[in-house]
Amino acid sequence: MPDNPFQEIAPGFFEHLAHDRGLRPASIKHYRHFLRRFSAYLRRIDLRDFRHVTPTILSAFVASYGRRVGLPSLRNGCGNLRVFLGYLYSHGVLQTNLGAAVEFPQAYRLSGIPRSITWEEVKRVLEAVDRRAVTGKRDYAMLMLLVTYGLRAREVAALTLDDLDWRANRLRIPERKAGHSTAYPLSSIVGTAIIEYIKNGRPQTPDRHLFFRSNAPIGPIGHAAVSTRAGHYLRKADIDVPRPGSHTFRHTCVQRLVDADFDLKTIGDYVGHRSPGSTQIYGKVAIEALRQVALGDGEEALR
C-alpha cells in the first residue's frame, strides 16, 4: 500500500503536516491510515479524477466510514478530511474548498450505551483461550487484567516487571490518562496467570516490558495488538458486540461495579476516568431493573 495514496495530486501533504502544522509522527500516521481508507473508497466507486469529487460523494464516504468506527474516530476522520481538502484547495487542485462540506457528527453527552458483556460471556471468552500455547498464556493474562481492573489496552501494553510488587501483592499502573498513578491489590487469579506467562511464555530478554509479541521480531506488544487479541477471543466465543476489543472488557468491569452499587466516584477512581462524566454513562444501564421490566414486573422494579 502506498505511503501517500494521493502522491500524484498532493505529494507534499505529509511534509505540510509535519513542518507547517507541527504534527507529531503518531498524528501523521492517523492521517495516512485515514487517507488510505478514503482512497480505497474512491477506487471502489470508480472515481479516478479527484476534480470530480462532490459534497455528495464526501457525505457518502463519511457515512460509510462511520459504520466501521466509533464516534470519536469518525470525528477525527472528518477533521483529517477537512484539512486534506483545504490543502488541495490552497494548492490549486480544487477550485473550491470542499472542506466546508464535511460536517462533524454531533455528539451528545451520555447518549451512548457502553458495550459491556455478561459475566457468563466473559467466562466463555476465557474458556476460548488455549492456555497450553505460549500465545494463549500471554493472552489469558492480558484478558484477566482488562476485565479485573478495567485497564485500557495501552496500560496493559505499557506494563513492566517493575510494576509488579510480589511481596506486597500490588499492581501499579503509572501515568494513567487522568494524569495520576493507580495501585491495585494483585488478585491471586490474575497473579497466577501472569506468573504462568512469565515462567513459560515470556521470552528471555533484558527488556523490562511484561508482554511481548509472539512473532519475530520479538518486541514489546503494542496497544493495538492488545485490543486486536481481545476482539479475536470475543469473536471466537461467538459474542456479538459492537466494535469488539479491549474496551469491551473495560466496560464490563465498570458495569459490574455499577451493578454492585459502588458509587460513581469510586468507580471512576478505580478505572482511571479523567472526569466524572465518563462514569455517569454507566448509570443509565440498570441491568437488574431492566431485566425485571423485561420479565413483566416493570413498575415494581423501577420504583
Residue in 152, 202, 229, 251 annotated catalytic = 152
Q: All 3 cell numbers of residue 42? A: 474512491
Closest CA relative to residue 104, chosen from 65, 47, 50, 52: 65
Residue in 82, 138, 229, 247 annotated catalytic = 247
What residue type is assigned to position 165 of the chain? D
How far lies 199's CA from each of 25, 68, 140, 196, 246, in Å? 36, 39, 14, 5, 25
Residue in 33, 51, 177, 265 annotated catalytic = 177
Catalytic status, residue 177? yes
Residue in 31, 65, 149, 282 annotated catalytic = 282
Residue in 202, 250, 251, 256 annotated catalytic = 250
Catalytic status, residue 282? yes
Closest CA relative to residue 255, chosen from 222, 291, 288, 285: 285
Classify burial at 151, counting beta carbons within 10 Å of its beta carbon; exposed 0-12, middle 13-18, buried 19 or more: buried
- The span from the CA of 85 to the CA of 87, in Å, is 5
H helix and E strand count, the chain: 14, 3
Question: How many other CB atoms are found less than 10 A from the CB of residue 104?
Answer: 13
Active site residues: 152, 177, 247, 250, 273, 282
